[in-house]
Amino acid sequence: MATGTGKTYTVASLIYRLLKSKSSKRILFLVDRKALAAQAVMEFAAYEAENGLKFNQIYQVYSQKFQKNYLEENEKVDFSVLPTGYLTDPDGSQVFVYVCTIQRMQINLFGKEGMFSTSGDYDPEDDADKLEIPINAFDTIIADECHRGYTSHEISKWRDVLDHFDATKIGLTATPAAHTTSFFKDIVYRYGYEQAVKDGYLVDYDAVKIDSGVRIEGITINEGDEVEEINPETGAQQLDLLEDERHFEVSAVERDVTAPDSNKKIIQEYAKYALEFEKENGRFPKTLIFAANDLPHTSHADQLVDLCRDIFGRGDAFVQKITGSATVDRPLQRIKEFRNRPEPHIVVTVDMLSTGVDIPSLEYIIFLRPVKSRILFEQMMGRGTRLCSNFPNGMGTAPKTHFTVFDCFGGTLLEAFRNSTGITQEVPIPPTRTIEEITIDISNNRDFEYNTKCLVKRLQRINKEITADGRLSLAKFVPNGDLSTFAKSLMESLDTDRIAILQILTNKDFINLLMHYPKPERKFIRAIGVEDVVTSEYLFKTTDGRELKLEEYIKQFEKFVKENPEHIEALEVVLKKPASWNTTTLRELRTKLSQTPEKFTDDNLRKAYKYPLADIISMIKHAAKEEPLISGKERVDLAVAKVIDGRKLTSQQLEWLVLIKKHLIENLTIEPEDFDIMPIFVNYGGSFNRINKDFDNDLIMYINQINSAMPEVNAYAN
């Protein structure tokens, strides 16, 4: 099910039915982060399974013990710890749901050896121990986020956990991967993103393409340019002049080098859109920025936080960082503050908010980290798809109609994943074998030619990195410590003098040196003198998968308007039959336009024409007849002036006309019933009968003439 369409709610309903019908008694709900485990327990506590009763008031929901840093202050949910006997000595009387991380269950079953890698936002299960858990401990196992991109080594452990139990297994994901479908087989239920948008349960997105020379071409530092060298281990900084010209590829940006000017200009470009959005909607768009990393002393995330605080100048609380290293203190609370409170408005993250986090008020997503995995890209995009009509206090009341994606790599991310399908064929990342494993395979003549080629490549890589001291140590095993020559001739040497070469390759000291060879001290370069050229343009995403530039969008609109008056009555009224203009016609017009693949809504067209006050009539007539664009206020003034031209009106009639004009600016038409229900009239003691008397019982005539004049007036007259 697409992100944001309610997998947890759906599975809570499923679990309730399984327990209620006694089809299952003991259910294991697996997640892969402690924060998500805590969140799942709270969602079960919030789910009303029966009238007036929450799920956890009917059935026991167990979990592990959570430290305070995973919970919000004054958290009222009862986190009941699962008794160990429920795992080691299950019996038929127990009825419960156990929420657990896949990592914890792996330790419980197989011990801590060979655990999952501790990268990204992984939370170590330090208090978990190996237990004797029988295969019948659970009747049903539900694996949440079962697409997660582990290495093939980790996939085997993930499968080992599930394979241990004799139970029905169900996988939940928004982005099924090849290893997901190979384990769970058929997809038994699918509800995709496009369908969810069509049904109105999710919002679609528009895109902004940000072109940055640094993000597209890399960084070139000229000889003699001043740079700041940073020691990634200690944070020591030193200003220096570059001795030779150096070019860093895009892949090295933020890893080995950074250009502060590039990051600054990208954030400034984003600020233009954010401030314009705030001006039009009365709220600053909640923004999630994906940074490349959050490493000590060279953190890209920290750099972006500082830039946002400087550029917007609204205090530290306005911009926050939520990453694995930044949220050791109450991570779940930090995420919930972002979701439920006006501040922070901007959050910088790396991975921690890429999956499993529900923030409906999020309206801007900025990709400043490269993404190669389609699964990860879809998960990150999914953060913005949720509907939202109740924003945190102080964020305005206009409902969320879409979210905006900022592709800071010249649109290449959006282009790369444009034609993605519901199932990815991505395979798990192959594990990296050690030098020792490769040499053992060679000595055992296992896939000899392939493994020798692998070793040659590995030796050449080491040769490029090893220090002079390392070469001296290598001289004990390789002539002159020349690893490059040794690698080039390795295949031939193994053919002519296999025993001697294998003695070298399998020597423990030689292997240890290759696995722990000394490398030059790594430097991170801050290219303080490099200037970036950054531009941007708005892209409109169509329902059939295209992304149109402004001029392309306008051309499509002009084509639609010119080709469809005979097929769409509301268009014909605007262009040829103004006397028939009314509220029903306007409603039909907006519906027909918004249902096109290009989604020609008032807001989108105003963005395309770069005229935030233009009314829909003006934009249609501009597209059809090239009339100048005018605002709704200008159109109303022209229409009312035409109707009252030559008439002498009383002061009371003129007062009512002021209110009528205000109503028309917002609504473009007026109907008799509006005088009885619209606050702008009712609050002034108005009603149709009252106002009709003030207009000598001719109010209907005025209404009809004003409505006809609205599409009829010629913008050139202005």
pLDDT of residue 9: 87
Q: Average pLDDT of 458-486? A: 90
Pick from 292-301, 387-396, 648-657: least confident: 387-396
Contacts of residue 109, Cβ cutoff 8 Å, sequence gap at least 6? 130, 131, 133, 160, 161, 164
Q: Is the pLDDT of residue 668 over 90?
A: yes
Residues 325, 348: contact at Cβ < 8 Å? no
d(CA 706, CA 618): 16
Confidence check: pLDDT of 332 > 70: no
* CA 318 to chain CA mean position, Å: 20
Residues of the chain with pLDDT > 90, as a percent, come to: 56
Convert the pLDDT of each residue in 71-106 to its tens digit. 555 456 678 999 999 999 998 889 999 999 988 998
462 pLDDT more than 60: yes
Q: What is the pLDDT of residues 115-171, one digit of tens each?
A: 554 444 445 676 788 999 999 999 999 998 776 644 455 556 778 888 999 999 999
What is the pLDDT averaged over residues 633-646? Answer: 93
CATH number of this structure's domain 7-198? 3.40.50
Averaged pLDDT of the chain: 87
Task: Kindly list the distances between the CA atom of residue 427 and the CA atoms of 156, 181, 370, 373, 436, in Å, as whole numbers in the listed order.
Answer: 13, 11, 19, 10, 25
pLDDT at 420: 57
Q: How confident is the model at residue 280 (pLDDT cuts 50, 70, 90)?
A: confident
pLDDT in tens, 529-543: 999 999 999 998 888
Q: What is the mean pLDDT of residues 402-428?
A: 73
In single-letter form, the type of residue at position 161 comes to: V
Q: Confidence band (pLDDT; 50, 70, 90) for 325?
A: low
Over residues 638-648, the mean pLDDT reads 93
Token representation of residue 443: 């000595």
pLDDT for 714 equals: 76
For 322-346, b/e burial (b = at least 16 CB within 10 A) is bbbebbeebbbbbbbbbeeebbbbb
Please state, in angstroms and rounded to a whole number, the distance separating the CA atoms of residues 525 and 282.
41
pLDDT computed for residue 415 by the predictor = 83
Q: What is the pLDDT of residues 571-589, one digit of tens each?
A: 999 999 999 999 999 999 9
How confident is the model at residue 354, as a pLDDT? 62
End-to-end CA distance of the chain: 53
What number is the average pLDDT over the span 486-498?
91
Enumerate the domain spans of the chain. Answer: 7-198, 204-213+258-416, 548-629, 633-717
| Number of Cβ atoms within 10 Å of the Cβ of 679 | 8
Q: What is the pTM of this model?
A: 0.77
CATH of domain 204-213+258-416: 3.40.50.300
- Report the alpha-carbon distance of residue 326 to residue 114 in Å, rounded: 27
pLDDT of residue 541: 85
Please choose, from the candidates 496, 497, 468, 503, the residue with its C-alpha nearest in 3D space to the C-alpha of residue 482.
Answer: 468
pLDDT score at 149: 47
Tokens representing residue 188 in the block: 């038994």
Judge whether 7-198 and 204-213+258-416 match in fold: yes
Helix segments in 490-538, DSSP class H: 490-496, 498-505, 508-515
